[in-house]
Amino acid sequence: MDHPPKYFYLHNSDIIAANTKLTDKSRQSIYISRAENTINAYESDWNDFYDWCAHHHVQAFPAEPETIINYINDLADNAKANTVARRISALTENFDAAGIKDNPCRLPIVKNALKGIKRMKGTMQRGKLPILFDDIREMLHCIEGDELQQARDKSILLIGFYGAMRRSEIAGLDMEDLRFTRLGLLITLRKSKTDQMDQGQMIAIPYVEDKEICAVQALKDWIARSGITTGPVFRGFTRGHGIRKNRISDKSIALLVKRYVGLVGMDPKDYGAHSLRHGFATSAAQHHVEERQIMRQTRHKSQTIVRRYIDEADKLIDNPIFKITGDKK
């Protein structure tokens, strides 16, 4: 069998296809077991390892465990511990896909080296700060542009916040995903980070009394002003300020959030599009919303992240400083 380019096997199905013990149905389930984005990320990680090996004149495939250890230690000079761990995952998966019996990444010497790097560097990562509900209120007072742009930007901020949405989910919305009801809005996410099997997820956003902060009303206003009836919900503008046919990019969502963060006096470097999602969870925790309800809105599968948001909120609310100073919170 010919080796694939740079020995990356996760895109190659020959080994699976040649396994006569598998039924056609079983093969298909293996083919779709990983999201395309994950495979592409693993390929990028593998290529980095392969190029490092070429530069140091050592064999990448199959690799010696010492080669992998030297690689991750060099990588750790400029990368976070979690990035190093992901590279090991990519190498492990690729060696497994190639059918290597004694996968070097699974050897104790490699595992211990990774543990050592994690201990030296630590695994705590500085994420983007949350945009809280009060921050959203302030940002809405700074909406820029003509009435059309204001309607779009306001809608993006409110839908992103109340829906606890990722930037790719906001950018990926189509008119066909929206269903307005007497009580509010139902959004169907056709695919998301936590829904790799394409089963779809539902987000419910109700009307709120104050129309200035009502996401459903803001979205209706944008749709009415834009005249969009099908296809992408959120789009960019032409130089003449007409509405483009193609959807807005997720990067544009992030830049939009940063712009309005800066207008209210916060540092854009500390915030991004994820700050809307993070901010909803933290704001909900500050208002003592139950963990189960937060997870239903954020669609988190793991309690770990949500509990981190709750703990983050609790530290600022139930803080001993208030008892010392006599403040009431």
At CA 42, angle to CA 38 and CA 45, rounded to 5? 145
Residue 152's pLDDT is what?
97
| Chain center to CA of 163 | 14
Please give the share of the chain, as a percent, with pLDDT higher than 90: 56
Task: State mean pLDDT over 17-26.
Answer: 66
Residue 243's pLDDT is what?
94
Task: State mean pLDDT over 322-326.
Answer: 74
pLDDT level of residue 329 (50, 70, 90 thresholds) = low
Task: State mean pLDDT over 239-260.
Answer: 93
Q: Which residue has the higher pLDDT, 213 or 118?
A: 213
Q: Is the pLDDT of residue 197 over 60?
A: no
Q: Contact at 8 Å (CB) between 125 and 82?
A: yes
Query: Catalytic: which of 137, 179, 193, 251?
Result: 193
**Residues with Cβ < 8 Å from 327, sequence gap 6 or more?**
321
Query: Catalytic: which of 87, 128, 166, 235?
Result: 166
Residue 1's pLDDT is what?
46
Catalytic, 277? Answer: yes
Angle between helices 303-317 and 291-298 (to 10 degrees): 120
Angle between helices 36-55 and 65-75 (to 10 degrees): 100
Task: State mean pLDDT over 110-116.
Answer: 92
Residue 132's pLDDT is what?
93
Query: Catalytic: which of 152, 154, 235, 274?
Result: 274
Catalytic, 9? Answer: no
Catalytic, 274? Answer: yes
Q: Is the pLDDT of residue 81 over 60?
A: yes
Domain boundaries, the chain: 5-121, 133-317
Task: State mean pLDDT over 183-204.
Answer: 76
Residue 186's pLDDT is what?
96
d(CA 326, CA 320): 10
| Reported CATH class of domain 133-317 | mainly alpha
Residue 18's pLDDT is what?
67
Catalytic, 21? Answer: no
Residue 19's pLDDT is what?
63
Catalytic, 309? Answer: yes
Q: Contact at 8 Å (CB) between 53 and 63?
A: yes
Q: Is the pLDDT of residue 241 over 50?
A: yes
Q: Is the pLDDT of residue 144 over 80?
A: yes
Query: Catalytic: which of 128, 152, 235, 277?
Result: 277
Catalytic, 300? Answer: yes
Q: Which residue has the higher pLDDT, 242 or 36?
A: 242
State whether CATH 1.10.150.130 applies to domain 5-121.
yes
Q: Is the pLDDT of residue 317 over 60?
A: yes
Residue of 63, 119, 59 whose CA lies nearest to 88? 63
pLDDT level of residue 210 (50, 70, 90 thresholds) = very high
pLDDT level of residue 217 (50, 70, 90 thresholds) = very high
Q: Is the pLDDT of residue 107 over 80?
A: yes
Burial class (CB in 10 A: 0-12, 13-18, 19+), 148: middle
250-275 tens-digit pLDDT: 999 999 999 999 999 999 999 999 99
Q: Which residue has the higher pLDDT, 318 or 205?
A: 205
Q: Which residue has the higher pLDDT, 243 or 12?
A: 243
Q: Which long-range contacts (CB under 8 A, 24 or more apart) does 119-125 make?
A: 120/76, 121/76, 121/80, 121/81, 121/84, 122/81, 123/80, 123/81, 123/82, 125/80, 125/82
Residue 28's pLDDT is what?
60
Task: State mean pLDDT over 196-205.
Answer: 75
d(CA 260, CA 53): 44
